Amino acid sequence: MTLEFTASEMMSVTAARALTNDMTCFVGIGLPSEAANLARLTHAPEVTLIYESGTLQTKPEILPLSIGDGELCESALTTVSVPEMFRYWLQGGHVSVGFLGTAQIDRYANLNTTLIGDYRHPKVRLPGGGGAPEIATNAHEVFITVKHSKRTFVEAVDFITTVGFGRDGKARDDVPHIGRGPTVVITDLCILKPDPTSKELVVTSLHPNVSREAVIEATGWEIRFADSLETTPSPSAHELDVLRRLKARTQAHHAGQS
């Protein structure tokens, strides 16, 4: 029997699979949070999740709407101050993976969450950096999950809020005490990884029933495909069930207030 699943479910399940039990993950809100908690509720029950609000080793029953919902604090091992979180735990080198979303990403995996257009006269003003600029450089590596579209996947971001590999792919070269940077980007169409030498993002795996043309059409630069292009394994019935129940619980909880 073939399971039915949506592209965004495919993305969440694939992003979740990137996490393992031995990782300490600094989690961004939204898609990364959904994926990280799905991992915790399926194959990686021991994964350590940290949110920038100071909640260490948290195990929320429902997905938080904000980075500091009470659920995160009440289910955490302990909660520290925000300066302690960024200085001791992140900058101190205790975070193995930073899991980020973004508004724009470019061929060198630089992220823009600041604005579209010119800085002083923006076309669209976005929220800004938040924790991402330092998560991306102080975590040992970075996972990114974002929906694939031409508006999001651009040749060069309008503004580098958070560095991937810089404008030329060399931004991390010879910088002391800096993490490896983005190692994987998971979208609703495919998996991309930086080329080991040039650092340009390359498609390494297509999700089931996604064509090369669909990826080319949704990418704002001449996207390259790996020679040994793989097909991403489909979600299992268990993964889909856990994800759907997590989302239903979350929606019921947030709507039931006020």
Partner 1 sequence: MAEFLSLQAAVSRYIDDGDTVAMEGFTHLIPFAAGHEIIRQAKRDLTLIRMTPDLIYDQLIGAGCVRQLIFSWGGNPGVGSLHRLRDAVEQGWPNSVEILEHSHAAMACAYEAGAAGLPLAVLRGYVSSDLPKVNPQIKCIECPFTGEQLAAVPSIRPDVAVVHAQRADRQGNVLIEGIVGVQKEVVLAAKRSIVTVEEIVDDLGASVNACVLPSWAVTAIAQAPQGAKPSYALGYYERDNAFYQAWDEIARDRERFQAWLNDHVLEQGAVS
> Which residues carry out catalysis?
52
Report in angstroms how near the CB of residue 219 gets to partner 1 at its nearest: 22
How many angstroms separate the CA atoms of 50 and 18, rounded? Answer: 16
Helix boundaries (H) for 85-190: 132-138
Q: 145 vs 162, which CB is nearer to partner 1?
A: 162
Q: 29 vs 97, which CB is nearer to partner 1?
A: 29
Q: 131 vs 235, which CB is nearer to partner 1?
A: 131
Residues 57-116 that bind partner 1 (CB under 8 A): 64-70, 72-74, 79-83, 85-87, 90-91, 114
Nearest 10 degrees: Cα torsion 115, 116, 122, 123: -140
7, 116, 126, 156: residue in contact with partner 1 (rule CB under 8 A): 126
| Strand ordering across the sheet containing 190-194 | 76-79, 55-58, 48-50, 24-27, 97-100, 141-145, 182-186, 190-194, 201-206, 224-231
Interface segment toward partner 1; rule CB under 8 A; list 9-17, 38-46, 153-161, 223-231: 153-161
Does position 252 interact with partner 1 (CB under 8 A)? The reply is no
Nearest 10 degrees: Cα torsion 200, 181, 73, 64: 0
Interface segment toward partner 1; rule CB under 8 A; list 2-10, 38-46, 144-152, 168-176: 168-176
Number of residues forming the site for partner 1 (CB under 8 A): 59
Give the residues lining the site for partner 1 (CB under 8 A).
29-30, 52-55, 64-70, 72-74, 79-83, 85-87, 90-91, 114, 119, 122, 125-134, 137-138, 159-163, 166, 171-172, 175-178, 253-258
